[in-house]
Amino acid sequence: MKIIPAILTEDFSTLKDMIELSATFTNHVQVDVMDGKFVPSISITASDLDNANAKKLFMEIHLMVDRPSDVIEDFVKAGAKKIIFHIESKEDPHEIINTIKKYKVIPSVAINPDTKIEKLDTIIDEIDSILFMTVFPGFYGSPLVPEVFEKIKKFKSKHPNIEIAVDGGVKVSNIDDFKKYPIDAICVGSAIFKAKNPKDIFIMLQEKTN
């Protein structure tokens, strides 16, 4: 099980600091992107990321936006190696996946806690990973929705070869609960970046999942 630090901010200087900090303990980060429509919050832009010297890391971009196709190219140019879009977005998921693949980056799909997993059925043969939101997206520190774990079990039993990642609500105090389920990667935001020593928390979380 892999721990992936999740960066969420609307401030460029904070983004740069978070990228530099992350590079001291990992080579893989998730960057959250929000348009103020799909979720209420607004975050950094592709231009911000391009100027933050982030290309030294493997970046997966979590697009919490209504229209992913409007920004995919920009984030690829900024260094994205993987693009995660929401199945609940307003565009056709097949077209989004084709657009992502056109740029030679990895496509992945995120699903919100209240969305039925059957909504993924039509695109399951086009992707290798799913990001299950274990919180309602858009903010650091949102409460965990434990019902998602049973959805993960159900999904993995039907699709054992699909990589499962989760995002949200993870803490040192509850990481053992996540280990009970067929999860391959855990994206962790506030538990790492709001800690007094983020590197120590990252190492502790990774050790607990090994």
The mean pLDDT value for 89-94 works out to 97
pLDDT reading at 152 higher than 90: yes
pLDDT greater than 80 at residue 130: yes
Active-site choice (167, 177, 184, 200):
167
Check residue 53 and give its pLDDT: 85
The pTM assigned to this predicted structure is: 0.96
The one-letter code for the residue type at 15 is L
What pLDDT is stored for residue 196 in this prediction?
A: 95
Residue with tokens 């290309």: 55
Query: What confidence tens digit (pLDDT) does each residue in 34-75 have?
Result: 999 999 989 999 999 999 989 989 999 999 999 999 999 999
From the list 77, 80, 73, the residue with the least C-alpha distance to 59 is 80
Q: Which CATH number belongs to the domain containing residue 89 in this structure?
A: 3.20.20.70
Annotated catalytic residue 50? no
Q: Which one is catalytic: 32, 48, 50, 184?
A: 32
Tokens at residue 162, please?
């699909």
The question of whether 17 is a catalytic residue gets the answer: no
Quick one: what percent of the chain has pLDDT higher than 70? 100
Tokens of 152: 């993960």
Phi–psi pair at 188, nearest 5 degrees = -125, 125
Domains in the chain, number: 1
* Sign of the CA dihedral with 132 first, then 171, 186, and 30 last: positive
Domain containing 196: what range?
Answer: 2-209
pLDDT of residue 139: 75
**Which residues neighbour 112 within 8 Å (Cβ) at sequence distance 6 or greater?**
86, 88, 133, 136, 137
pLDDT in tens, 64-91: 999 999 999 999 999 999 999 999 999 9
Please tell me what DSSP assigns to residue 177: H
Residues 198, 201, 183, CA angle at the centre, nearest 5°? 120
143 — pLDDT class (breaks 50, 70, 90): confident
